[in-house]
A and B are shown apart, each in its own frame.
Chain A
Amino acid sequence: MRIPLSWLRDFAPIEGSTAELTDHLNELGLVVDAVEEVGAGLDRVVVARVMATRPHPDADRVQLVDVDAGDGQALQIVCGAFNFAAGDLVPLATIGAVLPGGMEIGRRKVRGEVSNGMLCSAAELGIDADASGIHVIDGDHAPGSPAADALGVEHDVVFDLDITANRPDAMSVVGVARDLAARLGVPFAIPEVVIEEAAYRADALATIEVRSPDLCPRFTARVIEGVAIGPAPKWVQRRLVLAGMRPINNVVDASNYVMLELGQPTHPYDLDLVAGNGLVVRAARPGEELTTLDGVTRRLGEGPGVEITGDCLICDAEGEPIGVAGVMGGESTQILPTTTRVLLEAAHFLPMAIARTSKRLGLRTEASARFERGIDPEGIERAVRRFCAVLGNEVAAGMIDVRADAPRRTTVHVRTARVNALLATTLTDGDVAGYLSPIGFRTAPLEPGVLVVDIPSWRPDATGEIDVIEEVARHHGYARIPRSLPPGGKTGSLTAFQHERRRVREVLCGLGLDEAANPPLVGPGDHERAGLPGETISAANAMIREESVLRTSLLPGLLRAVAFNVRHRQNDINLFELGHVFRVPAPDAALPDEREHLALALAGSEAADAVGMWTTLADALRLAPVVMDGTTTTPGLHPGRTVRVLAGGVELGVVGEVDPAVLAAHDIPGRVAWAELDLERVLAAPRRPLEMRPVSRFPSSDIDLAFLLDDTVAAGRLEDALRTAAGDLLVDLRLFDVYRGEGVGPGSRSLAFHLRFQATDRTLTDVEVGEVRAACITAATALGARLRG
């Protein structure tokens, strides 16, 4: 909210440099986003007298103007406006001026003619919105004198404040002035306004009916006759412009002025356009339509949460909607140049309802921003009186006032000890009261150490002791609270899971993999393109389609990342990712089935490389040997090159290769080795014992065994069989050669294993080794393997 300093000074004698005031506002939590020094841009703008105007020899849309800028000499200016004549006084921005809008004035040529400055419109001077022509200066002023003086422009400072959602009062000039005055220790007062009422009565001219008191606890109306629509007084326009609003006409401007000053939105209707001369307040029916002031036709009574709080409508006496309560009025009853009778609405709407309606319509207005925070229910009369005073018209007697259960003032008990316990302060009861009373929180002692605090009507956000303590903290100053560390001496640490997750990352990094991080939301169709069927959970209100479906696997994201890097001609695309995946749970589950997965994607590598990576990782994690089951297929993965990894009967995940059809759909050439594992299950899998295995001092014996094995039997089964048969003497077993071709029949291959035997207590004899060798061969034969000679 833009707050001019001059306006604040209507309510408190606020002094201080711009920097000091900025600091004070920030420390009050009225955060200053920007500061604008008004009038600074008029430094080099002077009054000039038009001596003569001449056509530009080479252009129709501009003319040449000779002006006297104070030295009596003719100074040539090129000007695009024609709304003045010789003898008029006009504002001249001289060379070097920087206008309020930031425009820098230099000497320049326009179609061959020199312009020694620029004649300015009111908009260019920042004094009002009028950009229709040069601002002709009234009265008699010496050419060359500062234009600011002639225009009555005072130097001003506008603070652009970011008002938090809990400060309805600070959405107004008076609210900011009250806070700032308290901080500066200067008096604050809102001048009382007295209005004159005519003999005729408002309730004879208009009627009000509130059918939804839950949405509208209080609705008031005044009638003002004999209005002549025209521009608002200059001072009103000027303040509106400073506050960032566009002046429209005297009635609308008076309404906006009051809203900015006091925080109470009001809405003026042309009473003659309101059918039946009456207003009805009710909840919208589903699908009801209304064209708002901005010319947009809006549907109401529909959308998320409408069953919780409906849309509050203002209708005419015949029931036709003419305004979205608290958000925006309707086009059909707006103030027009022909308006003579104004019906002024000043109401209190349920903040929650306004917030919901505003969100559903995607329409945030100055009014809705105030109503949704909660306006001062006791401020309506003052705001209406102020409106009448600013407009300056006679008012029909009486205010039509329909009241339901408007919020009442509350009191809370505040314990000084509690204040000090939370704020690390040593305040007395008097100190606490001293901070509260200047901001309208009246206090009375209940007993020593306890104050009864009367919450002001303009702070509906404050409902409990803690809210009052925050006010004390704000006005005491956060910076004055002594800092220290909590006394509790705790030992911090990562959990075992968190440690091991870091280890997973380190191992994969060490193996040369780069860590990817994909958003867990993917686009519709991304799962299908990755070959993943099945149900998914989506965002109900996604803003972008590409991020609307929760991934069930890390596959879609990593394939996208591989494809991206392939397109950008990167080499060695080896990625891993740790992230959450989300699957549809049992129907009665409160939340999706969410798991943390680990995946690897190795572009240009085969399934065996993924197995190697996984084996190394499993070794680094000290996992006990796992089962690799290649008998089933996994969606999205190569049907012949994928194994499920199981430990203790629990599936940890899959290792293998991505389905070539899926790769083709992603424009990824070559193969992509793949592994995806449930991280929690991996880290919960059985481990090898922690105890060291003794290292034997005795020599070891090595044997090599080569078998012919049918392709239908997995090498892993043979390896397992050999391991079991070899028993405790086996210290190493590895497959060192796989051969297919000549000498080996079709449909089978030769598998050569290297085995090392060793005992910890003796040197093995040839007989012992021979026995173990024979046992291995027997076990292999049982699997259908034949020893190669």
Chain B
Amino acid sequence: MTLDPVVRDALAAIEAAGTILDLHGVEAAVLGKRSPLAAESQRLGTLAPDERKVAGQALNEARTTITDALAAHREELTRAEAVGRAQADRLDLTETTPARLRGHLNLVTQARDRLEDVFVGMGYAVAEGPEAETDWHNFTALNLPPAHPARSMWDTLYLDWGPPESTLLRTHTSPVQVRLMQSQPPPIYAVMPGRVYRRDTPDARHTPSFNQIEGLVVDRGITFGHLAGTIEAFTEAYFGPGMHSRLRPSYFPFTEPSAEFEVTCTICAGEGCRTCSNTGWIELGGCGMVHPNVFGHVGVDAETYTGFAFGFGIDRLAQMRHAISDMRILFDNDLRFIRQF
């Protein structure tokens, strides 16, 4: 007896099964106890030994063929059903709900963090101090004794604490320099970010309190060349390659020689535009070599050590970077502004 028709029928039945469940039934029909193959298997016992060997071999081949076909079709059906389930699960991902609300750091914080990171990378520590200060720390120690005419450079908010004009809201973060030099011997490499105050009416470019960062280096052999080199290195690190700085003489009572420093205009990259009055440069801050009288007030030997200091506005950098036309928006805490950054 040939098994070819049995195998052919079985393969056809397997192929016809459309689901895993159907295939289960087909499997029972073609390989189960009542299948033609089971009958053939029982018939083997009745055969002569040499016939049995041939028929047995044929039976095994038929069973293998059918088993393989079952396995192959089962795999095919499984895959098809998975694809079907996935299709049924399909989503239009452009039908999205709005992004989760995230919090936003204040723009000034972001600017301050970036500046701190640049200076930490240049080897500086970050120093802080009180915003309410003594007149001595804010002025006298900085070579501005009471009634020094240059005090008029800072419109000062005095506090109703202590004797008249003895306490104030710091006009710069320089008192932190004073406290730092009083509390630790050189070498000092530090920046002082923080809030400062001026007696001023708010307008588009000025707010009565704003944020500033200063730097102080005190070490042996520090020169004006180191100051200029540091300003240049910072300019490139913060504003990017191709941005440069220049110094020109200025006056501050606590530094000498003093300078104002300018950086390549960020708007026109030095080509000249309205923002920089066609000079290609934007004034950023002040700097200079620490005045020997300041060293005298804080007990640093001005013959052994020299140093430089610099300072500029943090808010102003944020203003330049984000083209903020009116600085007062920084203090409204308007979420429509804060959430832009």
Q: Mark B93-137, 1 if CB is under 8 A from A, else 0.
A: 000000011111110110001001001111111101011111000
Contact between B104 and A515 (Cβ–Cβ < 8 Å)?
yes
Contact between A473 and B102 (Cβ–Cβ < 8 Å)?
no
Given contacts A515-B104, A537-B161, A308 and B224 within 8 Å (CB-CB) = no
Task: Identify the stretch in B28-36, B47-55, B78-86, B164-172 within 8 Å (CB) of chain A at 4 or more residues.
Answer: B164-172
B226 contacts across to A, CB distance below 8 A: 424, 484-486
Chain B minimum-CB-distance residue to A578: B109
B24 contacts across to A, CB distance below 8 A: none
A515 contacts across to B, CB distance below 8 A: 103-106, 109, 338
Contact between B103 and A510 (Cβ–Cβ < 8 Å)?
yes
Task: Identify the stretch in B1-9, B201-209, B264-272 within 8 Å (CB) of chain A at 4 or more residues.
Answer: B201-209
Contact between B251 and A164 (Cβ–Cβ < 8 Å)?
yes
Contact between B149 and A590 (Cβ–Cβ < 8 Å)?
no
**B195 proximal to A (CB < 8 A):** yes
A540 contacts across to B, CB distance below 8 A: 157-160, 164-165
Given contacts A166-B251, A351-B149, A470 and B217 within 8 Å (CB-CB) = no
Contact of B103 among A424, A491, A514, A543 (CB under 8 A): A514
Pairs A-B, 10 closest by C-beta atoms? A29-B249, A424-B225, A509-B103, A164-B251, A561-B333, A483-B229, A424-B223, A490-B123, A492-B120, A515-B106
Task: Identify the stretch in A188-196, A563-571, A733-741, A760-768 within 8 Å (CB) of chain B at 4 or more residues.
Answer: A563-571
Q: Please name 21 pairs of A and B residues whose Cβ atoms are closer than 8 Å in the assembled complex, sorted by A.
A: A29-B249, A29-B251, A31-B248, A355-B152, A373-B149, A466-B256, A466-B292, A474-B249, A478-B247, A478-B257, A479-B246, A483-B232, A492-B119, A495-B125, A515-B103, A519-B209, A544-B208, A560-B333, A561-B333, A574-B103, A575-B333
Contact of A508 among B103, B116, B209, B258 (CB under 8 A): B103
List which A485-544 residues lie within 8 A (CB) of chain B: 485-495, 498, 502, 505, 508-521, 537-544
Most A C-beta atoms less than 10 A away, residue of B103, B207, B219 = B103
Chain A minimum-CB-distance residue to B308: A486
Contact between B333 and A493 (Cβ–Cβ < 8 Å)?
no
**B200 proximal to A (CB < 8 A):** yes
Contact between B224 and A518 (Cβ–Cβ < 8 Å)?
no
Q: Mark A65-107, 1 if CB is under 8 A from B, else 0.
A: 0000000000000000000000000000000000000000000
A692 contacts across to B, CB distance below 8 A: none
List which B148-197 residues lie within 8 A (CB) of chain A: 148-153, 156-162, 164-165, 167, 169, 187, 189, 195, 197
Given contacts A31-B248, A518-B331, A541 and B157 within 8 Å (CB-CB) = yes
- In angstroms, how far is the closest chain B Cβ from the Cβ of A468? 10
Contact between A464 and B292 (Cβ–Cβ < 8 Å)?
yes
**B250 proximal to A (CB < 8 A):** yes
> How far is it, in angstroms, between the C-alpha of A547 and the C-alpha of B197 when the chains are bound?
11
A424 contacts across to B, CB distance below 8 A: 223-226
**B212 proximal to A (CB < 8 A):** no
> How far is it, in angstroms, between the C-alpha of A30 and the C-alpha of B120 when the chains are bound?
35
Contact between A304 and B164 (Cβ–Cβ < 8 Å)?
yes
**A204 proximal to B (CB < 8 A):** no
B158 contacts across to A, CB distance below 8 A: 539-541
List which B192-247 residues lie within 8 A (CB) of chain A: 195, 197, 199-202, 207-209, 217, 219, 221-226, 228-230, 232-233, 246-247
**A422 proximal to B (CB < 8 A):** yes
A592 contacts across to B, CB distance below 8 A: 132, 159, 161, 167
- In angstroms, how far is the closest chain A Cβ from the Cβ of B76? 42
Contact of A482 among B225, B247, B250 (CB under 8 A): B225
> How far is it, in angstroms, between the C-alpha of A537 and the C-alpha of B164 when the chains are bound?
13
A437 contacts across to B, CB distance below 8 A: none
**A274 proximal to B (CB < 8 A):** no
A167 contacts across to B, CB distance below 8 A: 251
Chain A minimum-CB-distance residue to B131: A580
**B309 proximal to A (CB < 8 A):** no
Is the interface on chain B under 10, 10 to 19, 20 to 34, or 35 or more residues?
Answer: 35 or more
Chain B minimum-CB-distance residue to A549: B160
Chain A minimum-CB-distance residue to B158: A540
Given contacts A423-B225, A481-B225, A570-B335, A543 and B208 within 8 Å (CB-CB) = yes
> How far is it, in angstroms, between the C-alpha of A685 and the C-alpha of B199 when the chains are bound?
38
- In angstroms, how far is the closest chain B Cβ from the Cβ of A753? 31
Contact of B335 among A355, A519, A573 (CB under 8 A): A573
Contact between B209 and A521 (Cβ–Cβ < 8 Å)?
yes
B124 contacts across to A, CB distance below 8 A: 490, 492
Chain B minimum-CB-distance residue to A373: B149
> How far is it, in angstroms, between the C-alpha of A31 and the C-alpha of B124 when the chains are bound?
32
Chain A minimum-CB-distance residue to B333: A561
Q: Mark A286-318, 1 if CB is under 8 A from B, else 0.
A: 000000000000000000110011000000000
Contact between A492 and B125 (Cβ–Cβ < 8 Å)?
yes
**B147 proximal to A (CB < 8 A):** yes
- In angstroms, how far is the closest chain A Cβ from the Cβ of B188? 9
Chain B minimum-CB-distance residue to A572: B101
B43 contacts across to A, CB distance below 8 A: none
Contact between A484 and B134 (Cβ–Cβ < 8 Å)?
no
> How far is it, in angstroms, between the C-alpha of A49 and the C-alpha of B248 when the chains are bound?
52
- A interface residues, how many (CB within 8 angstroms): 94
**B306 proximal to A (CB < 8 A):** yes
**A469 proximal to B (CB < 8 A):** yes
Given contacts A466-B291, A537-B159, A539-B159, A28 and B249 within 8 Å (CB-CB) = yes
List which A157-196 residues lie within 8 A (CB) of chain B: 164-167
For the residues of B in contact with A, the DSSP-based class is: mixed
- In angstroms, how far is the closest chain A Cβ from the Cβ of B328? 10
Q: Mark B256-294, 1 if CB is under 8 A from A, else 0.
A: 111110000000000000000000000000000101100
B306 contacts across to A, CB distance below 8 A: 421-422
Chain A minimum-CB-distance residue to B164: A304
**A59 proximal to B (CB < 8 A):** no
Chain B minimum-CB-distance residue to A497: B128
- In angstroms, how far is the closest chain A Cβ from the Cβ of B193? 10
> How far is it, in angstroms, between the C-alpha of A505 and the C-alpha of B116 when the chains are bound?
15
Contact between A519 and B208 (Cβ–Cβ < 8 Å)?
yes
A564 contacts across to B, CB distance below 8 A: 332-334
**A591 proximal to B (CB < 8 A):** yes
**B90 proximal to A (CB < 8 A):** no
- In angstroms, how far is the closest chain B Cβ from the Cβ of A604? 13
A422 contacts across to B, CB distance below 8 A: 223-224, 257, 289, 306
Chain B minimum-CB-distance residue to A418: B303
> How far is it, in angstroms, between the C-alpha of A636 and the C-alpha of B63 when the chains are bound?
87
Contact of B201 among A351, A502, A543, A568 (CB under 8 A): A543
B149 contacts across to A, CB distance below 8 A: 165, 351-352, 355, 372-374
> How far is it, in angstroms, between the C-alpha of A284 and the C-alpha of B316 when the chains are bound?
43
Contact of B122 among A374, A492, A573 (CB under 8 A): A492
> How far is it, in angstroms, between the C-alpha of A568 and the C-alpha of B158 when the chains are bound?
35
**A26 proximal to B (CB < 8 A):** yes
Chain B minimum-CB-distance residue to A509: B103
> How far is it, in angstroms, between the C-alpha of A539 and the C-alpha of B134 when the chains are bound?
13
Contact of B125 among A470, A493, A520 (CB under 8 A): A493
B289 contacts across to A, CB distance below 8 A: 422, 466
> How far is it, in angstroms, between the C-alpha of A118 and the C-alpha of B229 when the chains are bound?
56
**A594 proximal to B (CB < 8 A):** yes
Contact between A517 and B159 (Cβ–Cβ < 8 Å)?
no
Chain B minimum-CB-distance residue to A28: B249
Most B C-beta atoms less than 10 A away, residue of A352, A538, A590 = A590
- In angstroms, how far is the closest chain A Cβ from the Cβ of B111? 11
Contact between B335 and A514 (Cβ–Cβ < 8 Å)?
yes
Contact between B160 and A544 (Cβ–Cβ < 8 Å)?
no
Contact between A423 and B224 (Cβ–Cβ < 8 Å)?
yes
- In angstroms, how far is the closest chain A Cβ from the Cβ of B197? 8
Given contacts A473-B257, A590-B162, A592-B159, A308 and B146 within 8 Å (CB-CB) = yes
Given contacts A484-B229, A494-B120, A594-B132, A164 and B250 within 8 Å (CB-CB) = yes
Further contacts, 7 of them, CB under 8 A, given A568-B334, A592-B159: A352-B148, A474-B257, A486-B226, A490-B123, A495-B126, A510-B102, A512-B100
A155 contacts across to B, CB distance below 8 A: none
A492 contacts across to B, CB distance below 8 A: 119-125, 189
